Amino acid sequence: MKTMKLVSFFALITVVLSACTEEFSLVGNWNIDNFRFRSIGPGGQVTEMNDENIGTITFRADGTGVVNQEVPESFSWSKQDYIVTMTMAGDVQEITNLNLVVVNDNFIHLGITEKFEGFTHEVTMHLRRL
């Protein structure tokens, strides 16, 4: 289930960087220290999951990357100015609210709200550079 939720999360992400400098680089390995998923169904039913140390994310300089979990998933990514775009094979989702806060060069707080097949998904991740 964790892999499915994380894959769903990375299907299409466009993130506006805030509180960072242009020199900030995502290239490298990042541990997923905390992963929180909350889903609100069409009828208002809520499902929540909170887990720690569920895997890593690797951003390579060539614009590719991989989410390393039970089943590794590859993605492509790019950064232009303060915008990072990540694309993973899968269904395209409507992204409604995005937030990436760079605490410093080694810690990132990432949050997203997306709508997918009548559900609203809220995901929060804390990433730490390895």
What's the CATH code of the domain at 110? 2.40.128
pLDDT computed for residue 12 by the predictor = 40
Tally of domains in the chain: 1
Question: What is the residue type of 89?
Answer: A
What global pTM score does this model have? 0.73
Of 19-23, 43-47, 82-86, give the range with the top mean pLDDT: 43-47
Neighbours of 22 (CB within 10 A): 9
User: What are the pLDDT digits (tens) for 12-35?
Assistant: 444 444 444 456 788 999 999 999
Vertex 73: Cα angle to 48 and 32 (nearest 5) = 50
Q: What's residue 8's pLDDT?
A: 52
Q: Is the pLDDT of residue 88 over 50?
A: yes
What kind and span of H or E run contains 70? none
Residue 76: pLDDT band (50, 70, 90) is confident
Higher pLDDT, 82 or 121: 121
- The domain in which residue 107 lies consists of 2-129
β-strand partners of 31:
56, 128
